[in-house]
């Protein structure tokens, strides 16, 4: 039966071989044996870390995460270059300048 919520109550009862008073104990037992208990199956719950990870699996979020990672990489490279300039190249320039003044 399709769309039982749109049907008349008597038509739904007839389609399911029931009465307004409910099923007889014999019919209920037969349906229980044929179909099993009227219970929802317990689902396996997903771990919290998988639910959190699922929030980030969208194209726009992945693009934003990649852009943030690229920005962090560029900032780290800039910091390294500035450290090299000030701690390695500057003393060499100072030595070269001092040497040039000595030989004048």
Q: What is the pLDDT of residue 103?
A: 65
> In terms of pLDDT, which residue wins out, 1 or 48?
48
pLDDT in tens, 73-103: 999 999 998 888 877 777 777 777 777 777 6
Ranges of each domain in the chain: 4-35, 48-102
For the entire predicted model, the pTM comes to: 0.42
Residue 36 in tokens: 């099993």
pLDDT in tens, 27-79: 999 999 999 998 888 888 899 999 988 888 889 999 999 999 999 999 999 99
């Amino acid at each position: 039966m399709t769309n039982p919520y749109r049907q008349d109550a008597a038509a739904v009862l007839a389609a399911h071989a029931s009465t307004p008073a409910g099923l007889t104990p014999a019919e209920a037992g037969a349906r229980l044996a044929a179909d099993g208990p009227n219970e929802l199956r317990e689902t396996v719950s997903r771990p919290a870390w998988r639910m959190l990870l699922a929030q980030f699996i969208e194209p726009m979020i992945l693009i934003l995460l990649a852009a943030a990672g690229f920005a962090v990489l560029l900032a780290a490279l800039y910091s390294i270059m500035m450290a090299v300039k000030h701690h390695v190249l500057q003393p060499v320039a100072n030595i070269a300048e001092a040497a040039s003044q000595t030989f004048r």
